[in-house]
C-alpha cells in the first residue's frame, strides 16, 4: 500500500503559523477541524500530545511526530505541517523542527498508524528527504514528493522498524576494561561482540564478567551473611586490561533478520526470556538491536 493512499490533501498545510510547540500544534488542529467531520477539542488534544511527549521524553531531530490515541477519533488522521522556519520544540531535541507529522488515532487504527509511521521514518532516514518535504510550497507538492519517492506501507511491522541501529558493540580482542567502560556509559545489559569483519559472533553481559571473578565455592554457599571481602572487585581492577572479551562472551541468545515480523521476534524473546536480541543481515553482519523497552516504546507507546 502506498502511503499517499491514506493521506488527505486537505490535511496537509504549508502555511502553519506559531512560534511555540503548543501554538504550532493548535494552528494545525484548528485548520484540520475545518476539514474533519468529528468533534475536535483543540486545547485538550494539544495538551494531551504535549503531556505525552514530555512524559516519554521524546527527542525530535528536525521532524516532530506528535500523536494522540483516543475513542474521540473514529479513524486515523495524519496531518502534515510545513513550518516557514525551523523551531526548537523542546530542550531535548537534537535539532530544530521544520516539519510536523501529527497523527490522531482511533483505538482500531493503531496498527495502521504504526505501519504508516514506520514507512515515514524509513523515508525520512534517506538523505535530503526531510529537506525536500519542508521545502514544499503546497499540499499537492508534498503528495507528489511522497508519490515519486514510492513510500510504501508494509503489511507487517518488522525488526527494522523497531530496532535501534548498532552503535554500541565490542570486538573479540577488546579488553574487559573496554567492555566495562561501555556498560558504564550506556544502559545496555548485553553488548554484541563482533569479529574483524563486523559479523556477530557472540554477546557479553556485565553479569558474565562479575561471575567470572567470584570464586566458585561461594556460589555453593547458602548463607552469605558473613561475606565482606572486596577481593573479587580488586581482581577486576588489577586484571581488566589483561583479559579480552573473547574469553568471556557466549553465543548470542537470539538473532533475527531486518525483515523478521514483529510478532515473530516478540514471541521468541518472551519464550526464551531474552531482553535483548540482535539484528543481523544475511552474512551475519551486525545491523542493530531490539530490547524489550524498544517494543514497549515504539509499539505500545509509539
**Nearest CA to 81 among 121, 124, 39, 32?**
32
- pLDDT for 219 equals 85
CA 176 centroid distance within chain: 28
Does the structure show a pLDDT above 80 at 247?
yes
**For the chain, what are the domain ranges?**
3-153, 164-300
Total residues belonging to the chain: 302
Question: In this predicted model, what pLDDT tens digit does every residue of 103-148 receive, in sequence order?
Answer: 999 999 999 999 999 999 999 999 999 999 999 999 999 999 999 9
- What pLDDT score does 59 carry? 86
The structure's pTM equals 0.77
pLDDT at 227 over 90: no
Q: Residues 80, 142: contact at Cβ < 8 Å?
A: yes
Quick one: fold of 3-153? Mannitol-specific EII; Chain A (3.40.930)
Q: With beta carbons less than 8 A apart as the criterion, state whether 86 and 122 touch.
A: no
Q: How far is CA 82 from CA 52, 85, 102, 111, 269, in A?
A: 22, 9, 11, 26, 40
pLDDT for residue 225: 83
- Indicate whether 97 pLDDT > 90: yes
Task: Decide yes or no: CATH 3.40.395.10 for domain 164-300.
Answer: no
The whole-number pLDDT of residue 292 equals 95
Q: What's the confidence (pLDDT) of residue 270?
A: 96
Mean pLDDT of the chain: 94
- The residues that bridge with 205 in the sheet, in sequence order, are 190
Cβ-contact 194, 171 below 8 angstroms: yes
Cβ atoms 25, 46 nearer than 8 A:
yes
Amino acid at each position: 500500500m502506498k502511503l499517499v493512499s491514506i493521506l488527505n490533501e486537505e490535511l496537509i498545510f504549508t502555511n502553519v503559523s506559531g512560534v511555540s510547540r503548543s501554538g504550532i500544534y493548535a494552528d494545525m488542529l484548528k485548520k484540520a477541524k475545518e476539514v474533519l467531520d468529528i468533534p475536535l477539542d483543540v486545547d485538550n488534544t494539544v495538551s494531551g500530545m504535549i503531556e505525552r511527549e514530555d512524559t516519554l521524553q521524546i527527542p525530535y531531530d528536525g521532524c516532530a511526530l506528535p500523536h494522540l490515541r483516543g475513542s474521540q477519533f473514529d479513524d486515523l488522521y495524519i496531518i502534515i505541517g510545513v513550518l516557514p522556519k525551523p523551531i526548537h520544540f523542546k530542550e531535548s531535541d537534537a535539532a530544530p523542527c521544520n516539519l510536523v507529522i501529527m497523527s490522531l488515532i482511533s483505538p482500531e487504527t493503531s496498527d495502521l498508524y504504526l505501519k504508516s509511521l514506520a514507512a515515514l521514518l524509513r523515508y525520512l532516514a534517506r538523505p535530503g528527504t526531510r529537506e525536500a518535504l519542508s521545502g514544499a510550497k503546497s499540499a499537492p507538492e508534498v503528495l507528489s514528493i511522497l508519490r515519486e519517492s514510492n513510500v510504501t506501507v508494509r503489511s507487517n511491522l518488522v525488526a527494522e522498524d523497531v530496532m535501534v541501529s548498532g552503535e554500541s558493540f565490542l570486538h573479540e580482542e577488546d579488553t574487559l576494561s573496554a567492555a566495562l567502560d561501555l556498560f558504564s556509559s550506556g544502559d545496555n545489559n548485553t553488548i554484541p561482540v563482533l569479529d574483524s569483519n563486523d559479523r556477530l559472533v557472540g554477546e557479553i553481559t556485565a553479569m558474565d564478567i562479575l561471575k567470572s571473578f567470584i570464586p566458585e565455592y561461594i556460589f555453593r554457599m547458602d548463607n552469605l551473611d558473613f561475606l565482606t571481602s572486596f577481593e573479587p572487585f580488586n581482581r577486576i581492577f588489577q586484571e581488566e586490561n589483561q583479559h579480552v572479551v573473547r574469553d568471556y562472551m557466549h553465543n548470542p541468545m537470539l538473532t533475527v533478520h531486518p525483515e523478521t515480523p514483529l510478532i515473530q521476534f516478540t514471541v521468541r524473546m518472551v519464550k526464551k526470556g531474552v531482553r535483548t536480541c540482535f539484528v543481523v543481515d544475511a552474512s551475519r553482519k551486525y545491523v542493530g538491536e531490539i530490547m524489550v523497552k524498544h517494543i514497549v516504546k515504539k509499539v505500545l507507546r509509539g
